């Protein structure tokens, strides 16, 4: 089971050591020694007062932002002294930090040590679970996608299925990471789930045997007349390298048959992942120019990533498929290729996850996934809560009972598109994609969106 992904996925910046460590701040350490309880509480209170006084001396003209620490210290002291039952200090502190993060945007979150391990294994693309990607919709833990060959796929689970129970425990209104912890476990162990599927009166009961799930982020097929179809499922460690290797293989295969004539890049249902992988994938197809830039508070530019000429692929005609679940890192790729007029985008408006999360390690193995800046396409347009608008609109018919998609702007506490006066204003204008004609590749038999993207690519090739 993947962690917090698809369209609610994160865009994470991980330095070479995979995370940044900052232990230089305040460390509150609690020890269960009854004889020292009053000394410990007094120390917490005095420490808060010292912090407040120090901050006030630096900025006497305004109220210190650390003044609420005295409130926290006093509340903690009351709980320590007066609560009916003994309390676990680590749980109290974790709960407090979790509450801080939960008061911010929906992508900032506190991760306890177990949850942090889940996030790291997701980024590496290997984990033990049942092979589903989930998110929460209207309180229900809902399957977004099912990994081919995994336990869930073998048991017949489908996208749109909702978990009613997990090992006989209610699965409604459960935190996403708590649900992930319930479903994941050692390979070979089992988990009992009850599923509600639209159109079925009775709940579906399944026993799933956990297994290692290796997510292959690249799927490639060589179509007729030298057209190449590549689906990128996630931007995890190694995605750009695997894409490069796959393209190298098809170039060699087509060397004596007229070469590669066009590329159909499928970013649908790609919830994102690692920023550097998105930059490297874009760099494969762009010879120069800005790929993406990031801005912090007040629109201040933080960083800018540009393409390099070395290693750039030939200027094949490219069509990119996007949908409402195209999010985060995949939106960076789509936006960069569109702004540089390197590709035609076909599909529907993307999810709109235009913020970057950094991972800050905390003592004890926990971490804070914190939104630190927005990212902008080469033209200076913010994707946050706006998404990427396709050049040519092509909807995918929905099955009966299939829920309407959720986008970033519908999430509680979502960030605004951009600060006033920053970036490009207004929305691009789209046209309707042409209907598919002629022979359709087998992979698009039940995929009208894919058929129309394929038709656009054929027309792009013919026009050159």
First and final CA of the chain: distance in angstroms?
44
Query: Is 40 within a domain?
Result: yes
Give the pLDDT confidence score for residue 420 in this predicted structure: 66
**Residue 119 — very low, low, confident or very high, per pLDDT cuts 50/70/90?**
confident
Task: Find the mean pLDDT for residues 73-93.
Answer: 90
pLDDT band, residue 39 (cuts 50/70/90): very low
Same domain, 264 and 192: no
pLDDT reading at 370 higher than 90: yes
Give mean pLDDT, residues 127-140: 79
Domain-terminating residue out of 162, 194, 214: 214
Q: Are residues 416 and 304 in the same domain?
A: yes
Q: Three-state DSSP class for 343?
A: coil
In a domain, 119, yes or no: no
Q: Report the distance separating Cα 387 and Cα 396, nearest Å.
A: 18
- Give Cβ neighbours of residue 71 (< 8 Å, ≥ 6 apart): none
CATH of the domain at 181: 2.30.42.10
Going by C-alpha positions, the residue among 319, 357, 295, 333 that lies closest to residue 462 is: 319
Domain that holds residue 67: 34-105
Question: Residue 279: which CATH number?
Answer: 3.90.226.10
Query: Does 315 fall in a domain?
Result: yes
- Residue 106 CB: number of other CB atoms within 10 A? 17
CA distance 347 to 324: 9
* pLDDT exceeds 70 at position 377: yes
142 and 73 in a common domain: no
Q: Residue 9: what pLDDT?
A: 41
> Residue 258 CA to chain centroid, in angstroms?
38
Say whether both 312 and 438 belong to one domain: yes
Position with higher pLDDT, 36 vs 100: 100
Residues 319 and 274 in one domain: yes
Catalytic amino acids? 328, 339, 353
In total, how many domains does the chain have?
A: 3
Q: Is residue 118 part of a domain?
A: no
Shared domain check, 302 and 171: no
In a shared domain, residues 294 and 224:
yes
Please state, in angstroms and rounded to a whole number, the distance separating the CA atoms of residues 328 and 388: 10
* b/e code 20-40 from CB counts within 10 Å (16+ = b): eeeeeeeeeebeeeeeeeeeb
pLDDT digits (tens, 9 = 90+) for 398-434: 876 566 777 888 887 889 887 766 667 667 888 999 9
Using DSSP bridges, classify how beta strands 392-393 and 344-347 pair: parallel, antiparallel or unpaired: parallel
pLDDT per position as a tens digit, 227-257: 999 999 989 899 999 999 999 999 999 998 9
Do residues 210 and 241 share a domain? no
Look up the pTM and report it: 0.76
- Select from 146, 163, 164, 165 the least CA-distant residue to 155: 146
pLDDT in tens, 154-198: 999 987 889 999 999 999 888 777 888 888 888 899 999 999 988
Q: Mean pLDDT throughout 392-403?
A: 81
Determine the number of helices (DSSP H) and then strands (DSSP E) in the chain: 10, 23
Which of 168, 190, 214 lies at the terminal end of a domain, its last residue? 214
In a domain, 236, yes or no: yes
How far is residue 270 from each of residues 46, 128, 221, 322, 325, measured CA to CA in Å? Answer: 50, 20, 18, 9, 6
């Amino acid at each position: 089971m993947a962690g917090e992904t698809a369209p609610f996925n994160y865009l994470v910046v991980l330095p070479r050591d995979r995370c940044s460590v900052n232990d230089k701040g305040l460390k509150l350490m609690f020890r269960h020694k009854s004889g020292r309880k009053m000394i410990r509480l007094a120390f917490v209170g005095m420490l808060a007062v010292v912090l407040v006084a120090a901050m006030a001396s630096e900025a006497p003209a305004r109220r210190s932002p650390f003044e609420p620490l005295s409130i926290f210290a006093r509340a903690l002291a009351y709980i320590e002294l007066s609560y009916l039952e003994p309390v676990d200090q680590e749980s109290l502190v974790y709960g407090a930090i979790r509450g801080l993060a939960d008061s911010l945007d929906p992508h900032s979150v506190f991760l306890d040590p177990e949850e942090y391990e889940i996030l790291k294994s997701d980024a590496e693309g290997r984990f033990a679970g049942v092979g589903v990607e989930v998110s929460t919709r209207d309180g229900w833990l809902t399957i977004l996608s099912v990994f081919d060959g995994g336990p869930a796929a073998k048991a017949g689970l489908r996208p749109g299925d909702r978990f009613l129970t997990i090992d006989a425990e209610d699965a409604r209104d459960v935190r996403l990471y708590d649900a992930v912890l319930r479903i994941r476990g050692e390979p070979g162990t089992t988990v009992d789930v009850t599923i509600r599927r639209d159109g079925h009166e009775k709940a579906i009961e399944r026993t799933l045997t956990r297994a290692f799930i290796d997510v292959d982020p690249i799927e490639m097929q060589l179509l007729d007349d030298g057209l190449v179809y590549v689906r990128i499922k996630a931007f995890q460690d190694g995605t750009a390298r695997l894409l490069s290797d796959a393209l190298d293989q098809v170039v060699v295969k087509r060397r004596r048959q007229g070469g590669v004539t066009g590329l159909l890049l499928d970013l649908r249902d790609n919830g994102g992942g690692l920023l550097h992988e998105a930059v490297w994938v874009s760099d494969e197809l762009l010879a120069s120019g800005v790929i993406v830039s990031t801005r912090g508070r007040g629109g201040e530019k933080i960083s800018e990533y540009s393409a390099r000429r070395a290693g750039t692929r030939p200027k094949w005609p490219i069509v990119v498929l996007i949908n409402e679940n195209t999010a985060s890192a995949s939106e960076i790729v789509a936006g960069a290729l569109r702004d540089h007029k390197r590709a035609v985008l076909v599909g529907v408006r993307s999810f709109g996850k235009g913020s970057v999360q950094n991972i800050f390690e905390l003592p004890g193995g926990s971490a804070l996934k914190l939104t630190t800046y927005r990212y902008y396409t080469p033209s200076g347009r913010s994707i946050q809560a706006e998404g990427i608008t396709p050049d040519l609109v092509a909807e995918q018919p929905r099955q009966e009972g299939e829920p309407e998609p959720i986008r970033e702007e519908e999430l509680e506490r979502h960030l605004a598109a951009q600060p006033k006066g920053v970036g490009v204003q207004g929305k691009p204008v789209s046209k309707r994609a042409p209907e598919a004609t002629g022979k359709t590749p087998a992979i698009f038999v039940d995929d009208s969106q894919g058929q129309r993207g394929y038709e656009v690519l054929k027309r792009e090739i013919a026009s050159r």
